[in-house]
Amino acid sequence: MDLELLRSFVSVVDAGGFTRAGERVHRTQSTVSQQIKRLEGSIGRPLLLRKGKRVAPTEDGERLLAYARRILALIEEARDVVAGAAPDGIVRLGVPEDFAAYRLAHMLSRFVRSRADLRLDVRCDQNVRLRRDLARGEFDIALIKRDAGDASESAVATWPERLHWVTSKRFPVDHRRDPLPLAVFEQGCLYRRRAIHLLETAGRTWRVAYTSPNLSGIQAAVSVGLGVSILSDVAVLADHRVLGTKEGFAKLSSTEMALVVRPDAGPATRRLADLLAEFCKAAAARTAA
């Protein structure tokens, strides 16, 4: 397969559309569109679902995407190694978007500055996609959320995560409303599943009033009273109000943050894992205080 076609395909998926992808690869929208058609023609399968200006990968596109990322990363690594520019290689890190992003970014910046020969690739994404791509081998290190005690991934360290039912302080949702409006992430989200399960166990009816693929959307929806949600400690804002058993909301059982490292990780990856473990331990201590 043509590497340029693969690069354009990955860019279209990451950008969510042809125009923005073209800007990334310095091509016109029409050129990128033609490249995708050529790639689809060479494979014999549709790779993208087109919804207006937005696009999303088909099932076949999802399968190709994982291979395309690995192929392109390997090409970059080979180029760096042959050029003698990157003895530390590449470290690929996956983190959930609601995990202390600002402070974590500062720590990662210091790490990169201390290792001039290292290339750090960070992807901030939804937990369900992080776990999927971790299983596919797309990360060297990943911070993931999971049910407490879940051993699906072999973690080098874990930290408890406190969850809360939240509504708006200024525009609180009537917690007796039937059905209860929810502001939730897309399907597959751990918090979404937990909210629905607990409400149905309690015999409550519910409806999804607001869905967002990112944390800021959920936080904003809660703040203006569009729905009740479940958020972690670090994601609860000043204009949110925590709901408890007195309002009829079941106590939330623990989840955890797990640090997973590739078994054959190199020295740079192991060093970053140590720094992440220290960072997460400190963050957990601040939350518990």
Over residues 119-178, the pLDDT tens digits come to 889 998 888 889 889 888 889 999 999 988 888 888 888 888 889 999 999 999 998 888
CATH of the domain at 139: 3.40.190.10
Q: Where are the alpha helices (DSSP H) in the chain?
A: 3-15, 18-25, 29-43, 59-83, 101-114, 127-135, 190-201, 215-223, 267-288
Where a domain ends, among 26, 55, 83? 83
What digits encode the pLDDT tens for the residues 226-248?
Answer: 999 999 888 899 999 999 999 99
Residues 259 and 151 in one domain: yes
Residues 284 and 266 in one domain: yes
Q: What are the distances in angstroms from CA 256 to CA 190, 229, 233? A: 11, 18, 12
Confidence of residue 75 (pLDDT cuts 50, 70, 90): confident
CATH of the domain at 79: 1.10.10.10
Residues 227 and 183 in one domain: yes
Where a domain ends, among 23, 48, 83? 83
Total-model pTM: 0.63
Output the pLDDT for position 81.
62
What domain range includes position 282? 86-161+254-289
Confidence of residue 204 (pLDDT cuts 50, 70, 90): very high
**Those residues with Cβ within 8 angstroms of residue 275's Cβ, 6 or more apart along the chain or in another chain:** 107, 111
Residues 136 and 192 in one domain: no
- Domains: count for the chain: 3
Residues 100 and 229 in one domain: no
Residues 144 and 267 in one domain: yes
Residues 146 and 265 in one domain: yes
What digits encode the pLDDT tens for the residues 101-116?
Answer: 656 888 888 888 877 7
User: What is the rounded radius of gyration, in angstroms, for the C-alpha atoms of the chain?
Assistant: 21
Q: Are 17 and 10 in contact (CB under 8 A)?
A: no
Residues 156 and 259 in one domain: yes
Residues 267 and 284 in one domain: yes
Residues 46 and 111 in one domain: no
Residues 146 and 21 in one domain: no
Residues 147 and 266 in one domain: yes
